Amino acid sequence: MVQSSIEFCRIVWDIQSAARKHIVNVMVAGATPILVNDTTKQSLQSLEQQFPHAQPRQAYAHDRIQPTIEHSLKSFVDNDNNDGGDDNKITLKRCRIILIAVAKHPGEKAFEFHNNPNDPVRDLRAIVYQAVANTDPSLDHVQVDVLRLLPYGESTKRPSNILSKQVSPQISMSIYNIPNGQHDLKHAMRHLAQLYYNINVLHISNIPMKSAGQAQSTHTVTLFYQANGYHLINQQEPLRNLCIHDPAYLKYREIKLVYSKRSKKALPGK
């Protein structure tokens, strides 16, 4: 969870500019909600320093999900109110929440959630709906993407994913069921970052480099860049037959180039 959260932030912060900052707040559902980084700590160094102190060390009988969602919404609202923008400019209050939840029961599906393995099942739609009502009912839209970490691998049949289901006029939710492969969650978070901010990937291979011992070798450099502006509503959809944790899920957003250095002797007129 830690490395996948850092991966999401790394990609998003890499493509931001001084004129347009991308604020990402990371929260942990501890005994009480823990804000890992606020608007003044938008750096990977801050995340890496704070995560070890924020991770829950035990199970809790009380509900942690709804208070943490409410806390994240409040952080968004407070930041929006203190943005210092043009008072005459009309902007929509829209936010996204990524909820990484461990499946506590092997049969969890759809919007089901168990706080602990033997607890009664709860409905994530009701949790989010009540969290919005308790925080700021005037929010224009809240998108919640739930990444449910399953206790089994790719070979076991998984519950069906749910994509952008409208829960209420102001709430939509997606459910992604992620197997417990080594990099599955990291791939899923990377793809969400690309979809949120319309990010493409450029791979440049065969770049010559020298090591400390002056040995010649070639490397591949990977760059992330924002394609054609910012959030696009009508962007190309991911491949339907692939899951968000599949490395090839957004393959159409990748460009591969090969570095080739032309010899000066081959240039005309030389």
d(CA 219, CA 204): 8
pLDDT at residue 181 in the model: 87
With respect to residue 213, please indicate whether it lies within any of the assigned structural domains: no
Does residue 38 or residue 162 have the better pLDDT? 162
What confidence category does residue 57 fall into, taking pLDDT thresholds of 50, 70 and 90?
confident
pTM of the model: 0.83
- Average pLDDT for residues 178-207, to the nearest whole number? 91
Q: Give the chain's domain count.
A: 1
Look up the domain containing 127 and give its range: 2-197
pLDDT at residue 20 in the model: 78
With respect to residue 52, please indicate whether it lies within any of the assigned structural domains: yes
* Residues 198 and 252 sit within 8 Å (Cβ to Cβ): no
pLDDT at residue 267 in the model: 56
Tell me: pLDDT of 19 over 90: no
With respect to residue 34, please indicate whether it lies within any of the assigned structural domains: yes
pLDDT at residue 235 in the model: 55
With respect to residue 214, please indicate whether it lies within any of the assigned structural domains: no
d(CA 254, CA 132): 36
Tens digits of residue pLDDT in 83-100? 655 555 557 789 999 999
User: Which domain CATH number covers 149?
Assistant: 3.40.50
What confidence category does residue 234 fall into, taking pLDDT thresholds of 50, 70 and 90?
very low
With respect to residue 250, please indicate whether it lies within any of the assigned structural domains: no
Beta strands 254-258; 199-210: pairing state: parallel
